[in-house]
């Protein structure tokens, strides 16, 4: 996943009335965006942000984000500011991607098998 995907999420978020990427929103949470995303599975992408401590105090912490590539809607995956290091957040994001890939494969196999069953029934 590259910076293009994050730009696309930003554009879609704004086009659908979202304010997640607005400068004021990012400033309020003292958020920093990555240069790209961890990965994308189907129409979902994961990336890691960092946020400053509440009221401008405390160390930065990291959050795993999940974005819908169609609407640009962004949600927190897990806990807001749930990781003390970027490395830990990236590992968590990769785990989300692995799980999504497994779920996607399982769903694809289920629908593929179901399609074969329907075709067999129609041939009778």
pLDDT in tens, 49-77: 999 987 778 889 999 999 998 999 999 99
Q: How far, in Å, CA of 120 to CA of 114, rounded?
A: 10
Nearest in space to 47 (alpha carbons), one of 107, 14, 4: 4
Q: What is the share, in percent, of the chain residues with pLDDT greater than 70?
A: 80
Q: What are phi and psi of 6, to 5 degrees?
A: -65, -40
> What percent of the residues of the chain are helix, what percent strand, and what percent coil, each to the nearest 5?
50, 20, 30
Nearest in space to 22 (alpha carbons), one of 103, 43, 89, 13: 13
Q: What is the longest distance spanned by two Cα atoms in the chain?
A: 70
pLDDT of 41 strictly over 50? yes
CA-based angle 51:43:1, to the nearest 5? Answer: 60
Which residue has better confidence, 119 or 73? 73
Residue 33 confidence (pLDDT): 87
pTM above 0.75, yes or no: yes
Q: What is the share, in percent, of the chain residues with pLDDT greater than 90?
A: 48
Residue 5 confidence (pLDDT): 81
Q: Which of 1-5, 85-89, 109-113 has the lowest mean pLDDT?
A: 109-113
Residue 92 confidence (pLDDT): 94
Q: How far, in Å, CA of 88 to CA of 74, rounded?
A: 20
């Amino acid at each position: 996943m590259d910076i293009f995907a994050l730009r696309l999420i930003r554009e879609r978020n704004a086009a659908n009335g979202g304010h997640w990427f607005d400068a004021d929103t990012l400033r309020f949470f003292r958020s920093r965006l990555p240069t790209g995303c961890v990965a994308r599975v189907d129409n979902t992408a994961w990336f890691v942000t960092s946020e400053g401590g509440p009221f401008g105090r405390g160390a930065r912490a990291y959050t795993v984000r999940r974005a819908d590539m169609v609407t640009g809607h962004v949600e927190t995956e897990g806990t807001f500011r749930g990781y003390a290091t970027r490395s830990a957040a990236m590992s968590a994001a990769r785990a989300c991607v692995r799980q999504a890939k497994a779920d996607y494969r399982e769903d694809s196999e289920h629908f593929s098998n179901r399609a074969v069953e329907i075709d067999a029934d129609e041939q009778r």
